[in-house]
């Protein structure tokens, strides 16, 4: 009996060795899922998240194999011990040619996950509606916050630009650095290509309906665009924060708002005028366990730490001391003096009192944050409003939004204080822009030591 058992173990070991030594073509390989879309997400972030996920499930011999014919495509291969005790070769395929290509790949069913650096467009939602609602919580996954960085050469003396001036620069209305206080030299514009979600975001947040100047040089790669600006004293461009490289980053202001640099707290709360969300989209009815577990990994603290490591802004909550705001209501500045602001803002769906998809995840993050900290600090919720017909209405709406968040946290977070309303004070977006002013209707979260 013992000899038979030993012999059986030896046979199993021999089989395992043969499987591992066979050429890949001789061993079955399972593609566990595929991602397609945004270069911003797909260049570094998605591969790092996939590798992190594979490690979390015990995969070994993980290897990235770039495509021999396309720099923006790769296959990540690994081996995973299966239930029968044998190793299974598994792989994840990535193609990063721009956000719109991800939705096309999802529609044609050649990809399981669409990577996007912008929210899905209404026409894409309609095209994919046979799969369900792609804007539902189970389909739209906000995986990181990014800030579009406006970049120039390090020797450029410019420090700040408004969105209005940016639009004039990239449309060609301003075409000489002398018009901005610089040298009498033509401005060289660098922009992402039409397939890019980064381009879509820039067009939406900055250009609007104004066309890009035809002289602008277009790029499929963020890294290549950044390299070009960093070597051109008279160049200007825009890239995600993680792709700034050796270029210089400018502060940006919206109309009626303060100029801000894309610092962590400003981007995490989406106060920064060019902050944006990065997304993964899956079919609402997805039942592939690897996809479901991958999304859970990405959204959890461990995956968000990978987001930080790559250079984007994670959704892991931190507390940050903030400076006094000139002209702010006394009770708000008093709160600033004795409290720290958490790196999360709660936002609402357009024209609705319903929290958006990110907010529901943030409610869980906030609950987990306080469960870890167990500090006993007081929690303050501060409501803001976009501009309305009267200050009284603005104050009422801001208070309603703060109460909405408080009710969602009831029984889950302790020491929540009476909500504070500051109305339409301190807008972070242009109130004349319907698409942007929804950011002004927000709720901030602050912590102060119990008195």
- Asked, for residue 275, whether it belongs to a domain, the answer is no
Q: How far apart are CA 291 and CA 74, in angstroms?
A: 18
- Shared-domain flag, residues 291 and 254: no
User: Which sign, positive or negative, has the C-alpha torsion 189, 190, 193, 194?
Assistant: negative
Domain CATH for 397: 3.30.1330.60
Q: Is residue 91 part of a domain?
A: yes
Residue 313 has pLDDT above 70, yes or no: yes
Examine the fold and report which residue of 240, 265, 290 is the final residue of a domain before the chain moves on. 265
Does some domain include residue 84? yes
> Are 300 and 328 members of one domain?
no
Q: Residue 62: is its pLDDT beyond 60? A: yes
Domain assignment of residue 208, yes or no: yes
- Give percent of the chain with pLDDT exceeding 70: 92
Choice between 18 and 175, residue whose per-residue pLDDT is larger:
175
Checking DSSP bridges between strand 113-116 and strand 29-37, what pairing results, if any?
Answer: parallel
Q: Which phi and psi angles does 21 have, rounded to 5°?
A: -90, -15
Q: Are 347 and 438 in contact (CB under 8 A)?
A: yes
Q: Residue 271 domain-assigned?
A: no
The answer on 138 and 284 residing in a single domain is: yes
DSSP letter at 186?
B
- Do 299 and 322 lie in one domain? The reply is no
Mean pLDDT (whole number) for 260-274: 93
Compute the Cα dihedral for 412, 415, 419, 425 and give only its sign: negative
Residues 6 or more apart whose Cβ sits within 8 Å of residue 190: 216, 217, 219, 225, 228, 229, 232, 235, 236, 237
Q: State whether 109 and 180 are in the same domain.
A: no
Residue-level pLDDT at 430: 80
Q: Is residue 236 part of a domain?
A: yes
Q: What is residue 418's DSSP assignment?
A: P
Co-location of 105 and 20 in the same domain: yes
pLDDT above 90 (res 168): yes
CA distance from start to end of the chain = 74
pLDDT at 15 over 70: no
Tell me whether residue 274 is in a domain. no
Domain of 96 in residue numbering reads as: 2-142+280-304
Q: Specify whether 205 is located in the same domain as 324.
A: no
Q: Does residue 28 surpass a pLDDT of 80?
A: no
pLDDT (0 to 100) of residue 6: 44
List CB contacts of 82: < 8 A, sequence separation 6 or more: 88
8 or 421, which is more confident? 421
- Strand-strand pairing, 29-37 and 60-66: unpaired
Q: What is the pLDDT of residue 12?
A: 46
Q: Where residue 257 falls among pLDDT bands split at 50, 70, 90?
A: confident
Residue 93 above 50 pLDDT?
Answer: yes
> Do 9 and 138 sit in the same domain of this protein?
yes
CATH number for position 151? 3.40.190.10
Same domain, 135 and 12: yes
- The stretch 61-90 carries a mean pLDDT of 91
Supply the pLDDT for residue 434. Answer: 67
- Least Cα distance to 189 among 204, 205, 174, 209 occurs for 174
Cα 25 to Cα 15: distance, rounded to the nearest angstrom: 17
Q: Which of 147, 130, 131 is nearest to 139 (CA)?
A: 131
For 111-166, write each residue's pLDDT tens digit: 999 999 999 999 999 999 999 999 999 999 999 999 999 999 999 999 999 999 99
Number of structural domains (the chain) is: 3
Whether residues 151 and 134 fall in one domain: no
* Residues 152, 158 contacting (CB under 8 angstroms): yes
Confidence of residue 236 (pLDDT cuts 50, 70, 90): very high
- The CA distances from residue 192 to 198, 221, 230, 234, 393, in Å, are 7, 7, 16, 18, 42
Mean residue pLDDT of the chain comes to: 90
| Residue 376 confidence (pLDDT) | 76
Q: For the residues 323-334, what does the mean pLDDT come to?
A: 94
> Residue 4: pLDDT above 70?
no
Q: Give residue 1's pLDDT.
A: 46
pLDDT of residue 9: 53
Q: Whole-angstrom Cα distance, residue 251 to residue 159?
A: 6
Name the residue with higher pLDDT: 436 or 118: 118
344 token code pair: 């999360």
Query: Going by C-beta distance under 8 Å and a sequence separation of 6 or more, which residues neighbour residue 402?
Result: 381, 382, 383, 419, 420, 421, 443
Q: Is residue 270 in some structural domain?
A: no
Same domain, 7 and 137: yes
Q: Supply the DSSP symbol for 207.
A: I
Same domain, 112 and 202: no
């Amino acid at each position: 009996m013992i000899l038979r058992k030993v012999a059986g173990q030896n046979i199993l070991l021999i089989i395992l060795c043969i499987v591992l030594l066979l050429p890949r073509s001789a061993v079955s390989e399972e593609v566990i899922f595929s991602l397609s879309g945004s270069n911003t997400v797909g260049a570094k972030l998605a591969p790092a998240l996939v590798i992190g996920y594979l490690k979390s499930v015990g995969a070994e011999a993980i290897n990235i194999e770039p495509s021999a014919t396309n720099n923006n495509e790769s296959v990540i291969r690994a081996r995973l011990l299966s239930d029968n005790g044998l190793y299974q070769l598994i792989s994840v395929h990535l193609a990063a040619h721009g956000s719109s290509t991800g939705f096309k790949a999802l529609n044609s069913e050649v990809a399981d996950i669409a990577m996007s650096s912008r929210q899905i467009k209404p026409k894409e939602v309609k095209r994919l509606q046979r799969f369900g609602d792609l804007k539902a919580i189970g389909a739209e996954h906000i995986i990181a916050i990014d800030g579009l960085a406006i970049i120039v050469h390090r020797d450029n003396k410019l420090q700040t630009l408004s969105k209005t001036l940016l639009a004039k620069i990239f449309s060609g209305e301003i075409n000489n650095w002398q018009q901005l206080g610089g040298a009498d030299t033509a401005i060289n514009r660098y922009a992402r290509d039409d397939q890019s979600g980064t381009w879509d975001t820039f067009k939406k947040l900055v250009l609007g309906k104004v066309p890009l100047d035809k002289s602008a040089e277009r790029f499929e790669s963020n890294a290549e665009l950044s390299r070009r600006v960093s070597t051109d004293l008279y160049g200007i461009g825009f890239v995600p924060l993680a792709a700034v490289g050796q270029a210089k980053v400018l502060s940006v202001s919206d109309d009626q708002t303060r100029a801000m640099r894309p610092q962590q707290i400003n981007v995490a709360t989406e106060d920064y005028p060019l902050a944006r969300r990065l997304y993964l989209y899956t079919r609402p009815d997805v039942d592939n366990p690897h996809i479901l577990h991958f999304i859970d990994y990405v959204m959890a603290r461990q995956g968000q730490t990978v987001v930080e490591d790559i250079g984007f802004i994670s959704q892991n909550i931190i507390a940050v001391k903030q400076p006094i705001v000139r002209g702010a209501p006394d009770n708000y500045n008093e709160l600033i003096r004795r409290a720290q602001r958490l790196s999360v803002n709660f936002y609402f769906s357009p024209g609705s009192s319903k929290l958006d998809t990110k907010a529901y995840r943030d409610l869980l993050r906030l609950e987990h944050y306080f469960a870890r900290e167990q500090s006993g600090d007081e929690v303050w919720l501060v409501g803001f409003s976009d501009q309305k017909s009267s200050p009284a209405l603005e104050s009422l709406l801001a208070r309603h939004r703060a109460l909405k968040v408080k009710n969602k946290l009831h029984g889950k977070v302790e020491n929540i204080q009476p909500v504070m309303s500051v109305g339409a004070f301190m807008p972070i977006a242009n109130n004349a822009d319907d698409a942007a002013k929804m950011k002004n209707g927000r709720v901030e979260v602050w912590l102060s030591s119990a008195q």
